Structure formats: C-alpha cells, structure tokens
Amino acid sequence: MDIIRIVDLEVTYHVGVPDSERANAQRLLISVDLWHDFGPAADGDDLSRTIDYYAVSRRILAFGDGRSWKLIERLAGDLSSMVLTEFHPRKVRVEVKKFILPEARHVSVEVVRPG
C-alpha cells in the first residue's frame, strides 16, 4: 500500500473546552496520511487515478469555517470521516497538534480509520 503524507498543514480553527478558549481561533497543525494504491496513477502519470493532495489540503484548510470543537479528539475524528467520504483512501491517519501547554512543544491526538 502506498501513502501520501501532508505534514503539519497550518490551520486556524476554534477549538477548546472552555467557551473562552473557543472564542478565538487558534493555530493548529494537521498531518494526514492517505493509504491507496497509486500504481495506476504512476504508470499513466495520471492525476485522476490518485488522490489529489492539493485538493485535500484546500478542503482541510476550509474545514473549520463556521465550526468549533471542544476536543481535538473529536476534530481528528471529524477530519478523518471527511477525508474518507470525499477522497476515498483505503485508510487515513489524522494527527492534530495543539499548542496549549506552555511547558510542552505541543499536545497531539492521532486517529487511524479504515476506508
């Protein structure tokens, strides 16, 4: 199985348990792994036979518009569902990094879902 990786895509979403934290959008980094058989695309040099990572990135960037989440666990699950439904990989891994603890580089949640 082949993998396309989008690593640390910077987004600005409303996320946090207290209302005060969700009031302002905050910087998150999203990483996505998309498992699929890219052999036919590579053989024919044909974008239509692969997963368009540019389209995936644009969709993730817009995913937070008008939405908010309390938990990054829920956000990661919602992102993985959207990617599976709209882009049809055989499996997806989504990692969400949040910069909330001053003593830590980041806190992250990772989900892996079959297609």
pLDDT in tens, 35-60: 999 999 999 999 999 999 999 999 99
Q: Give kind and range of the element (H or E) at residue 86.
A: helix 72-87
Q: What is the tens place of the pLDDT at every residue in 84-104?
A: 999 999 999 999 999 999 999
**Dist CA 78 CA 73 (whole Å):** 9
Q: What is the tens place of the pLDDT at every residue in 56-74?
A: 999 999 999 999 999 999 9
Neighbouring CB atoms inside 10 A of 92's CB total: 25
Tally the domains of the chain. 1
Domain that residue 39 falls in: 2-114
Spatial CA neighbour of 2 closest among 30, 43, 54: 43
Q: What does the pLDDT read at residue 81? A: 98
The full 3-state SS of 4-71, as one line of letters, equals EEEEEEEEEEEECCCHHHHCCCEEEEEEEEEEECCHHHHHHCCHHHCCCHHHHHHHHHHHCCCCEECC
Q: What does the pLDDT read at residue 113? A: 98
Spatial CA neighbour of 7 closest among 44, 42, 25, 32: 32
- Contact, 51 vs 4, CB < 8 A? yes
Q: Which CATH number does the domain housing residue 66 bear?
A: 3.30.1130.10
Q: What does the pLDDT read at residue 53? A: 98
